Chain A
Amino acid sequence: KAGVTQTPRYLIKTRGQQVTLSCSPISGHRSVSWYQQTPGQGLQFLFEYFSETQRNKGNFPGRFSGRQFSNSRSEMNVSTLELGDSALYLCASSSGLAGPDTQYFGPGTRLTVL
């Protein structure tokens, strides 16, 4: 099976802009979770989508949002970018049928905010 794919791999934006990141899960997986990874805060959970519905949410401001499509692909959006949003954004997919189950991470999208 193909692994989790994330696009784009690298992104440079300026403060105030918005950005959309995409994640394609492993075929057959219905759960997609998003994490932010930074040197200072480590890996932090953003949200999880299962069958197009947000199932869990972390402690991030409303500028961070996501959605999932009927084919399980997911996007996350960050509006009004701040310098502190610079991070590696990781998505992880799993079957989602009985949580928690094994999550498979993609390579991430490296977002730099200038």
Chain B
Amino acid sequence: QQQVKQSPQSLIVQKGGISIINCAYENTAFDYFPWYQQFPGKGPALLIAIRPDVSEKKEGRFTISFNKSAKQFSLHIMDSQPGDSATYFCAASRREYGNKLVFGAGTILRVKS
């Protein structure tokens, strides 16, 4: 019940296109769902996060869509740019876990110019 499943494993998108990464979770007690972006040689950096009381959250070109009944959430990157090329991780946590994050396996995104 601790798993977060992420897909696809890798993604190639044309510049200006929409990148979509999906995650599914099993533990219905999870109540915090962040997305992290990681560049080579760097630690992950928080991109955007959502809690299950909302179905969508948008910050600039990044949008999280959340479907509580399906236990799924996704990251949409609009107008994808070559600078967005990185590895993206979804994660989940619950209040009782403190700051323990359960991560998905990651998606390597390449945006072609």
Contact = CB atoms under 8 A, between A and B. Distances in A.
Interface string B42-70: 11111001000000000000000000000
| Main SS at interface, chain A | strand
B43 A48 contact: no
Interface residues of A, number: 27
A106 B41 CA distance: 10
Contacts, number: 72
Interface in B8-64: 32, 34, 36, 41-46, 49
Interface residues of B, number: 25
B78 interface: no
23 contacts: A31-B99, A33-B101, A42-B103, A42-B105, A43-B89, A43-B101, A44-B103, A45-B100, A48-B99, A55-B99, A56-B99, A90-B44, A92-B43, A94-B99, A96-B99, A99-B97, A99-B99, A100-B99, A100-B100, A102-B34, A102-B46, A103-B99, A107-B43
